[in-house]
Amino acid sequence: MQQRLNDLCGVLRGVGIVVNTSLKEQRLKAYWAWSRSDYRDILVCASKSLYSKISDQNLSQTASYVTGRLGLINQQNLIIMKLLVLPKFSESFRFLLTSDKDCCDDSRSDIKSASAASVSQSESQINTTRSNNRKPLPLESFNVPPPSTLDQKVFSKERRVPSSRIGRVAGFGNLALSLGVGAATEWAKQKVGYPVSSASSTSSALFLTDANLEKVVDTLCRMRGAALKLGQMLSIQDENFVSPQVQKIFERVRQAADFMPAKQMRKVLTSELGEKWAEYISDFEEKPFAAASIGQVHRGTLKDGRVVAIKIQYPGIADSIDADISNLMSLIIRFNIFPPGLFAEKAVEVAKRELRAECDYLREAAYGKHFTQLLKDDQVFQIPQVIDELTTSRVLTTEYMHGLVLDDCIDLPQNVRNWIGEQLLLLCLKELFVFRVMQTDPNWSNFMYNPQTGKIILLDFGASREFDKSFVDKYIRLIHASAEHDKESILQLSKDLGFLTGYETKVLQQSHVDAVSILGEAFASNHNFDFSQQSTTKRISHLIPVMLKHRLTPPPEESYSLHRKMSGCFLLCSKLKAVVNCHPLFYEIWNNYHFSE
Q: Which residues are catalytic?
A: 441
Report the C-alpha gap between 455 and 280 in whole angstroms: 30
Instruction: For residue 530, give the DSSP letter.
Output: E
Amino acid at 556: P
What CA–CA distance (Å, rounded) separates 49 from 53?
6
| Cβ atoms of 176 and 331 closer than 8 Å | yes
183: buried, middle or exposed (CB in 10 Å: 19+, 13-18, 0-12)? buried
Burial (CB count within 10 angstroms: exposed 0-12, middle 13-18, buried 19+), residue 113: exposed
Give dist(CA 149, CA 284) in Å, integer.
13
- Please tell me the distance from the alpha carbon of residue 378 to that of residue 323, in angstroms, as a whole number: 42
Quick one: DSSP state of residue 456?
Answer: E
d(CA 333, CA 336): 5
Instruction: State how far the Cα of 442 lies from the Cα of 421, in Å rounded to an integer.
Output: 13
Q: How many CB atoms lie within 10 A of CB 261?
A: 14
Please give the C-alpha separations between residue 455 and each of 52, 364, 403, 565, in angstroms, as whole numbers.
Answer: 37, 22, 9, 21
CA–CA gap between residue 466 and residue 391 (Å, rounded): 23
CB distance 200 to 530 below 8 Å: no
Strands 437-439 and 464-466: antiparallel
Phi, psi of 382 (to 5 degrees): -130, 140
CA distance 502 to 492: 9
Amino acid sitting at position 390: L
Can you tell me the distance from the alpha carbon of 172 to that of 227, in angstroms, rounded to the nearest whole number? 10
Q: Are 175 and 219 in contact (CB under 8 A)?
A: yes
Q: Provide the 3-class DSSP secondary structure of residue 104.
A: helix
Other beta carbons less than 10 A from residue 485's beta carbon: 14
